[in-house]
């Protein structure tokens, strides 16, 4: 059940209408099973280009391709029933011109079935956001720490401290005025995120920002404790599934080596049993 009181698909206007209301719940997903897990609880499910680091072992998001985003978007679409599905446009797929951005956004929407796309950048991307919005492409913006620009900003540093705060504020205002239905504020000081949220009409979605934002987003593998030893300050671990999975795999390996697995209940007798027949019919038997 969504925050809207039913299970209809959530739309960008729904998200925009939540400004100042019940906080928006947002998580990433890259696969069908995870999409099915997060969908009942989320207003927005983001197929983020963080997939490159989380699932493909890339050192940054810069190596993520449009094809990768489409493949993972298609997988997530199969697991979504009610949440608004947003897909990141990867580095190099939208910066050249508004026309390039539209071609690639239209392709992503057509091939994945997503409702909206997300792109990084503030004032410099305002024209592109307006171009897309005017042509039927809902856009979620992303300012503050923009991972696709790490080579320019010098790494994954907090953005908007001191005199730089005004730049981030202008970025947030610009993307909202250009037509973005929401804006992600990443890794900015709490006071700045609070100020921007108060000043702009566009819903803000924080990650490493402020609880005063209109919503929050995390990488699902981070909050579940699946993504290695990566422990940024802004991530709360709601589980330690990597440790649990490692322990389970170790137990499996030990039981195989000690010939404890498979046990009698896991193997088939010479004469078929009802359970064997049922398993075969369901496609679970080898």
pLDDT of residue 1: 43
Residue in 95, 123, 186, 199 annotated catalytic: 186
Instruction: Please report, for the domain that includes residue 18, its CATH number.
Output: 3.20.20.60
Structure tokens at 235: 């991530």
> Strands 24-28, 84-88: parallel, antiparallel or unpaired by DSSP?
unpaired
Backbone angles phi, psi at 280, to 5 degrees: -65, -40
Is residue 6 situated within a structural domain? no
Question: pTM of the prediction?
Answer: 0.92
Binding residues for 3-methyl-2-oxobutanoate: 49-50, 88, 118
Is residue 7 situated within a structural domain? no
Q: What is the pLDDT along the chain (286 residues), one digit of tens a residue?
A: 445 555 689 999 999 999 999 999 999 999 999 999 999 999 999 999 999 999 999 999 999 999 999 999 999 999 999 999 999 999 999 999 999 999 999 999 999 999 999 999 999 999 999 999 999 999 999 999 999 999 999 999 999 999 999 999 999 999 999 999 999 999 999 999 999 999 999 999 999 999 999 999 999 999 999 987 777 889 999 999 999 999 999 999 999 999 999 999 999 999 876 665 555 555 554 4
pLDDT of residue 227: 83
Is residue 181 situated within a structural domain? yes
Binding residues: 49-50, 88, 118, 120
Structure tokens at 115: 């409702």
Binding residues for Mg(2+): 49, 88, 120
Domain that holds residue 129: 12-239
Is residue 273 situated within a structural domain? yes
Is 95 labeled as catalytic in the residue annotation?
Answer: no
Q: Total structural domains in the chain?
A: 2
> Strands 116-120, 24-28: parallel, antiparallel or unpaired by DSSP?
unpaired
Is residue 252 situated within a structural domain? yes
Instruction: Tell me: do 107 and 208 sit in the same domain.
Output: yes
């Amino acid at each position: 059940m969504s925050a809207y009181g039913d299970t209809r698909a959530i739309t960008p206007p729904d998200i925009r209408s939540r400004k100042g209301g019940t906080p928006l719940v947002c998580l990433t997903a890259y696969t069908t099973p995870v999409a099915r897990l997060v969908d009942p609880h989320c207003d927005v499910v983001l197929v983020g280009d963080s997939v490159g680091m989380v699932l493909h072992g890339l050192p940054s998001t810069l190596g993520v391709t449009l094809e990768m985003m489409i493949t993972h978007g298609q997988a997530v679409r199969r697991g979504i029933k009610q949440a608004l599905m947003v897909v990141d446009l990867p580095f190099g797929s939208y910066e050249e011109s508004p026309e390039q951005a539209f071609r690639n956004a239209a392709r992503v929407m057509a091939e994945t079935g997503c409702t909206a796309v997300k792109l990084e950048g503030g004032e410099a991307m305002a024209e592109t956001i307006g171009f897309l919005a005017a042509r039927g492409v809902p856009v979620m913006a992303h300012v503050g720490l923009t991972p696709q620009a790490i080579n320019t900003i010098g790494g994954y540093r907090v953005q908007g401290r001191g005199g730089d705060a005004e730049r981030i504020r202008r970025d947030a205002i610009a993307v909202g005025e250009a037509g973005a239905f929401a804006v992600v504020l990443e890794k900015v000081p709490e006071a700045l995120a609070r100020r921007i949220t108060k000043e702009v009409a566009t819903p803000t979605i924080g990650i490493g920002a402020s609880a005063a934002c209109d919503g929050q987003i995390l990488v699902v593998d981070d909050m579940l404790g699946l993504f290695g030893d990566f422990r940024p300050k802004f991530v709360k671990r709601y589980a330690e599934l990597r440790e649990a999975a490692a322990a389970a795999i170790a137990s499996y390996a030990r039981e195989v080596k000690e010939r404890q697995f498979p046990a009698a209940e896991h193997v088939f007798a010479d004469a078929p049993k009802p359970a064997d027949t049922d398993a075969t019919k369901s496609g679970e038997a080898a």
